Amino acid sequence: MATKSMNTSTLLLSFAALAAVSARADQNFFQFGLWAPDAQIIKASDDVKGLRLDIVYGENKNVSGLDLGIVNTTTGNFAGVGYGIANVVDGNASGLQWSWLYSKTGAEFKGWQAALFSHIGGTGTGLQGGIVSLADGDFTGLQYSFYNQSDKLFTGVQLGFVNNAQNVHGVQIGLVNLTKDLNGIQIGLGNYIASAETLKLLPFVNWKF
């Protein structure tokens, strides 16, 4: 019991020392928190460049580096690796955004976003996957999920059971493929191109160039 108490005390002292150094530095390189905004070392309105550990819920303005926790929230921009149950970025994000449950970038995303539910609010470049993947803006790259949706121009490959896109330049591969306009190929059991003059719906393969 004494050893466990000593280890706990040592850990707490280490966090306190890191907090003191970070508070004196021009840039906050370490964040540790239980629940934002009160139970965390660095204020929610400040930036973190380095390591952020969020035991339950953490929030900061701009974050770059390694972001670990249950719920990681960035109200500004994020660059680096975000890993947890949920990662939410209100601004732009670049790097890796991996979550067990929910990944969201409110604006532009560049990198790899993966979760059961993935959502990009602006333009996206790279990889997006999970159970459900949504891209509100233009997306370039690979979208791989049971359900993929791209609301504007999609350039690349959509791979899933259901692929739904507004405008595709590339390939849709799935059980059901839906698009308003296509410059490429659809491969699946049901393939629908709304803008096709004839044969809008075809089994197995459909195309339009």
Quick: pLDDT tens for 69-98.
999 999 999 999 999 999 999 999 999 999
Residue 37's alpha-carbon distances to 21, 33, 42, 57, 99, in angstroms, are 20, 9, 9, 9, 22
Three-state DSSP at 75 gives: coil
Residue 13 has pLDDT above 60, yes or no: no
Q: What is the pLDDT of residue 26?
A: 54
**pLDDT of 58 higher than 90:** yes
Report pLDDT for 27.
75
Q: What are 166-184's pLDDT values in tens digits?
A: 999 999 999 999 999 999 9
The string of pLDDT tens digits covering residues 117-166 is 999 999 999 999 999 999 999 999 999 999 999 999 999 999 999 999 99
Residue pair 121/136 in contact by the 8 Å Cβ criterion: yes
When the pLDDT of each residue in the chain is averaged and rounded to a whole number, the result is 91
The single-letter code of the amino acid at 112 is W
